[in-house]
Amino acid sequence: MKAPWTIRDLVDFDYFLYRDEEADGEELRQRDRAFYTGLEDLPDERSTLFHRWVRFRGEAEDATPGEAFAECFSILKIAFPLAGCLSGAALAIGLLHYRGTVAVNVSSYVGVLVVLQLLLLLALLATLLYRRRTLGSGIPTAYPLLSRAVFRGSARIWRGSLRKLGGSQAGKLQSGLGELRLKNALYGRVIYQQVFQLAQAFGVLFNLGALGMTLLRVTTGDLAFGWQSTVFSPETVHRIGRSLALPWRWLWGEGVGYPSLEQVAGSKMILKEGMQDLATSDLRSWLLFLCLCLAVYGFLPRLALWIYAACRQARSLRCLSFTHAAGERLYRRMTTPMLESAGTSPDGDPHTFPLPDASPTPHPPSPGSPGNSTLLLVPEELAGELEADPLVRMVEQRIGRSVSRTCWYTAGRQGLENLDMEPHETVTLYQEAWQPPIRETLTFIKQLRQRLAPETALVILLNGRARPGESFAPLRDIDRSTWTQVTRQLADPYLDIAEAVTP
Amino acid sequence: MSAVLKFAVVGHPNEGKSSVVSTLAEDDTVPVSAFPGETVRCASYPVKIDGEEIIDFIDTPGFQNPVQMKEWMQAHGEDGEALMQAFIAAHKDQPDYHHDVELLRPIAEGAGIIYIVDGSRPVRAPDRAEMEILRDTGRTRMAIINSKEADAAHLDEWKLAFSQHFNAYRVFNAHHASYRERIDLLESLKGVNPDWQPVMERVIETYKHDWQMRTEHAADILAELLDKNMTCQQEKRVASQREARELQPKMLEAFRAKLSKNERRAHRRIRKLFKHTLFKTALDEAGILQEDLFSKQTWHLLGLERNQLVAASAIAGAASGLGMDALMAGSSLGLWAAGGAAIGAASAFFGGERAAHSIGKSRFGIGRLLGGSKVQVGPVHNPQFYFILLDRGLLYVDSIIHWAHGRRSEGVLLSSESGEKKGYVSGFSEEARRCCSQHMKALRKGNRQELEARRAAVQAMLVEVIQACSRR
């Protein structure tokens, strides 16, 4: 059974991965391998495995960001519904203002509490449909059309500002933005659903507040409901009321669930004539209708949306595959055995030499887990400099996947079009790290990604400047940081960077 | 007034375009970064003669889409300026091509091309595309192999590629280029296009004159420093001899601080003379010049060897003895001169290498005055101090003229494990050392006429030393 992930766990997971980025690779391997081998029952699912890892890491911490998030969120979970309830009740008080001279205007009550909510609901449904069509593109917001327009406008200003900055500053800014987009691509849906659920909780309690206050005012006071119109006749108003009562008129018919034509005509107010001539029974005939309107068009849809959001969020959390680059690295650390060769120093103390690379142990593949082979892409111009066998051996060692085939591609548009690749095939792109990541290279990587299925791993294997007679070399620090920063701008969670030689 | 000769300095990102511009324009304020793509828009660095702009070096952003640019240009089927204008018009609103459009603009406006490559790396497809694009512009173009690293394994590969696409090429290290190499580069530019010849000749001639002026000025600053520090003395009135003795450490400290300050001020003037603003932070922090004037390391590495110092001091000592011989109208048969030489030599042998902390101490004196005492420190008579001052000055000049304006990294620490002297003066000819000794002696004697003559001689000698250093 899959582990029950929560947003708190995700926050912690992300935090631990972030901390591991700066840590020593060998120590990480030892720690995560020890955790993995120490598990009594190996879970089938990667998400369950990672969930246990988060708990394991959390045990060593006094406080985690996930706990802080959970605490803050628990306050929001109370504050939002409370604010909804109070605002609903306050609005109802305002609308039900009655001093015996002018009856409560049914049109205002229905207009504000029912029609307005219905319009918002329709806008939300349209948004949800739109999102379903354009899923995965852009930042999820409640009103994508508006936000898209805002983003386009701000993008122009943003680009203008970037041009004024030097390359390194602009790069850092874009890298930061890329990091945000990357998180959005990974967890955006879960976070969005959480916020959406919170907004629906507000809506549910808003309606409950308004309904409760209406019933309270009716129970504890004297209220009269009427309507005014210079244009509409009682027949029209009756027809509108009858239409609105469609969902319940099978249960509560005319005169109960909605006012009859006579009651409608009897509750029409003409201000210069006052209320003296209007029958009290007619003035009270709107009460149940108004309450049912609020319950059916306000409360129930919001409740349904709240339940929908809760279900969707649970599903999204269940469907997290954790096959993104950072997840892959963690998974490989866990499943790759630590090979050590022991020797004895002259003073007699045994010492061990951990070997940096080894193939991962076979592990039951989890759903969504990519296959264990990769397509290797190498620029054609390097064919004379790199020997195929050592290259393949190096890639298999460094990536932990077997190379299914090697493609020597030519630079330029034609080169990409000529590539023969499957959408679900993991791709390793060989790249000389000393070549600065120019726009053209990034465009090539983006186009490569577009030809792959969204969650397929794409690894950029960086090689340093090798000395004559050698093929592979470690990276310079500046090259490593440049490539890390630039690839972050791509905001691709399934894009990873590997190095040909251990630093 | 002739038209300004414009050169667009173009190339792949992070090849050192800004460093080359910085070095050629002698402007160390050009932003240079190890992070690729630091330059995002064209920046102009003009060379002016008497206020008139003659040459304009334009630093440009690096190529971002060379292969796609080449494909587009090949498909477009035009050539020269029309091709560039068409490319700019088609791509000016595309953010991905911002750098490419920006770098093509000055070329489209008629600028000559200086293409920079890092010769320590192999030629790749984007480089070939860039070279083809530049060839298709039809502009006069010269390539510079800016070998950022000492590795020259790919130099021949680059030279072969350049021979197909460029009018000329030259190896030029923007981080270590000397004055001579800068002139040589300008000479190469002159030969690339006959139209550029008159302007380039004028610029080169002006550069040479300017350099000569700077050399003479630097020698003057150093000679002035020697004058100032070798005659420097400080006095103070005190109430009693006891107070004078208590004051000794403070006075010595202040005296040395004064000598150091004079030296720093002279170095600053030299730095300004050679148009450096970042030099202090870049080199001083790592080199021997960061060492204090009176540090053990400085006195260990710089100045004259003991035997050289003995000879120099003997000359100086004999010079003072000659004065006594003259007073006795030669009746002493030169005994005073011989005695002075012997005393000078002996003091140099035993005290010439005296630790730096003794500077000023031997010249600390307390004189009786009416109503109190006078304390005096200096002037320094230790001949090694003269040579160390000179050595540090020459090292500073040497470092600064070999520190290209495009260089931003740290200097190299001068050290000696063998105890050998590492400065300039230990390599001076006997004549040069004699010249210095005579100057030193004249400073001691204080005869103005003689001092001016000796100073002029030292200055002329220093000009020669700096010129030799520039040629290196």
From the list B81, B342, B24, the residue with the least C-alpha distance to B204 is B24
Contact between B14 and A436 using a beta-carbon 8 Å cutoff: yes
Q: Are residues A285 and A383 in the same domain?
A: no
Mean pLDDT of B40-53: 88
Q: Are residues A402 and A286 in the same domain?
A: no
pLDDT tens per residue across span B376-393:
887 888 888 888 888 888
Inter-chain contacts counted by CB atoms under 8 A, chains A and B: 85
Contact between A440 and B65 using a beta-carbon 8 Å cutoff: yes
Q: Are residues A213 and A284 in the same domain?
A: yes
User: Tokens 């030499």 correspond to what residue?
Assistant: A353
Confidence band of A487 (pLDDT split at 50, 70, 90) = confident
Sort out which chain A residues have CB atoms less than 8 A from B14's CB and list them. Answer: 436
Q: Residues A268-293, buried b or exposed e (16+ Cβ, 10 A)? A: bbeeeeebeebeeebbbbbbbbbebb
Is the distance from CB of B245 to CB of B417 less than 8 angstroms? Answer: no
Q: Is A371 helix (H, G, I), strand (E, B) or coil?
A: coil
Q: Which range, of A38-42, A463-467, B211-215, B401-405, averages the lowest pLDDT?
A: B401-405
Distance of CA B21 to the CA centre of its chain: 18
Contact between B64 and A413 using a beta-carbon 8 Å cutoff: no
Mean pLDDT of A99-123: 86
Q: Are residues A249 and A139 in the same domain?
A: yes
B372-377 vs B365-369, strand pairing mode: antiparallel
Question: In this predicted model, which residue has the larger pLDDT, B42 or B292?
Answer: B42
Q: Which range, of A115-124, B283-292, B434-443, averages the lowest pLDDT?
A: B283-292
Q: Are residues A306 and A393 in the same domain?
A: no
Domain boundary among A253, A285, A319: A319
Residue A342, in any domain of the structure: no
- Say yes or no: B33 contacts chain A, CB-CB below 8 A: yes
A427-432 vs A373-379, strand pairing mode: parallel
Sort out which chain B residues have CB atoms less than 8 A from A434's CB and list them. Answer: 121
Q: Are residues A153 and A264 in the same domain?
A: yes
> What pLDDT shows up at residue B329?
39
Kindly tell me the sign of the dihedral angle through the C-alpha atoms of A63, A67, A69, A71.
Answer: negative
For the packed helices A7-22 and A46-59, what is the interaxial angle rounded to 10 degrees? 70
Domain boundary among A291, A319, A347: A319
> What pLDDT shows up at residue A171?
66
From the list A405, A354, A370, the residue with the least C-alpha distance to A496 is A370
pLDDT tens per residue across span B315-330:
555 444 444 434 333 3
**What percentage of chain A carries pLDDT values higher than 70?**
83
Q: Are residues A184 and A300 in the same domain?
A: yes
Contact between B34 and A412 using a beta-carbon 8 Å cutoff: no
- Is it the case that residue B239 has pLDDT exceeding 60? yes
Residue A361, in any domain of the structure: no
Arithmetic mean of pLDDT over chain A: 81
Confidence band of B417 (pLDDT split at 50, 70, 90) = very low
Give the gap in angstroms from C-alpha B28 to the nearest C-alpha of chain A. Answer: 17
> What pLDDT shows up at residue A149?
64
> What pLDDT shows up at residue B415?
45
Give the gap in angstroms from C-alpha A177 to the nearest C-alpha of chain B. Answer: 17
Question: In this predicted model, which residue has the larger pLDDT, A412 or B443?
Answer: B443
- Is it the case that residue B430 has pLDDT exceeding 80? yes
Residue A35, in any domain of the structure: no
Give how far Cα A136 sits from Cα of A194, A458, B386, Å.
Answer: 17, 18, 77
pLDDT tens per residue across span A308-342:
999 988 888 888 888 888 888 888 888 877 766 55
- Is it the case that residue B300 has pLDDT exceeding 60? yes
Arithmetic mean of pLDDT over chain B: 79
Q: How far apart, in whole angstroms, are the C-alpha atoms of residue A170 and residue B35?
A: 11
Q: How far apart, in whole angstroms, are the C-alpha atoms of residue B405 and residue B412?
A: 16
Domain range spanning residue A203? 66-319
Residue A325, in any domain of the structure: no
Q: Are residues A304 and A387 in the same domain?
A: no
Confidence band of B247 (pLDDT split at 50, 70, 90) = confident
Mean pLDDT of A283-312: 90
Sorted by sequence, the CB contacts under 8 Å of residue B153 that are 6+ apart come out as A468, B120
Mean pLDDT of B423-443: 86
Instruction: Please say whether the structural domain B5-175 has been given the CATH code 3.40.50.300.
Output: yes
> What pLDDT shows up at residue B21?
87
- Is it the case that residue A243 has pLDDT exceeding 80? yes
Mean pLDDT of B53-71: 92
Render B258-327 in DSSP notation, one character per residue. Answer: HHHHHHHHHHHHHHHHTT-SSHIIIIITTSGGGS-TT-HHHHHHSS--HHHHHHHHHHHHHHHHHHHHHH
Q: How far apart, in whole angstroms, are the C-alpha atoms of residue A476 and residue A464?
A: 7
Is the distance from CB of A167 to CB of B37 less than 8 angstroms? Answer: yes
Local structure of residue B403 (DSSP, 8 states):
S
Q: Are residues A259 and A162 in the same domain?
A: yes
Kindly tell me the sign of the dihedral angle through the C-alpha atoms of B207, B209, B210, B214.
Answer: positive
Q: Are residues A309 and A419 in the same domain?
A: no
> What pLDDT shows up at residue A364?
42
Encoding tokens for residue A456? 């397929």
Give the gap in angstroms from C-alpha A379 to the nearest C-alpha of chain B. Answer: 9
pLDDT tens per residue across span A346-386:
444 444 434 444 444 444 444 344 457 889 999 988 888 88
Q: Are residues A148 and A293 in the same domain?
A: yes
Contact between A468 and B34 using a beta-carbon 8 Å cutoff: no
- Is it the case that residue B131 has pLDDT exceeding 90? yes
Mean pLDDT of B157-175: 87
> What pLDDT shows up at residue A368?
40
> What pLDDT shows up at residue A335?
84
Mean pLDDT of B113-120: 90
Domain boundary among A304, A319, A334: A319
Contact between B36 and A412 using a beta-carbon 8 Å cutoff: no
Closest Cβ opposite residue A166 in set B14, B33, B125: B33
Mean pLDDT of A149-169: 63
Residue A23, in any domain of the structure: no
Q: How many CA atoms lie within 13 A of A274 on its CB side?
A: 5
Counting the structural domains of chain A, the total is 2
Q: Are residues A171 and A230 in the same domain?
A: yes
- Say yes or no: B75 contacts chain A, CB-CB below 8 A: no
Q: Which residues of chain B form CATH 3.40.50.300?
A: 5-175
Give how far Cα B406 sits from Cα of B147, B155, B173, B280, Å.
Answer: 13, 21, 10, 14
Encoding tokens for residue A344? 């004895």
Residue A7, in any domain of the structure: no
Q: How far apart, in whole angstroms, are the C-alpha atoms of residue A502 and residue A231?
A: 82
Contact between B40 and A439 using a beta-carbon 8 Å cutoff: no
- Is it the case that residue A141 has pLDDT exceeding 70? no
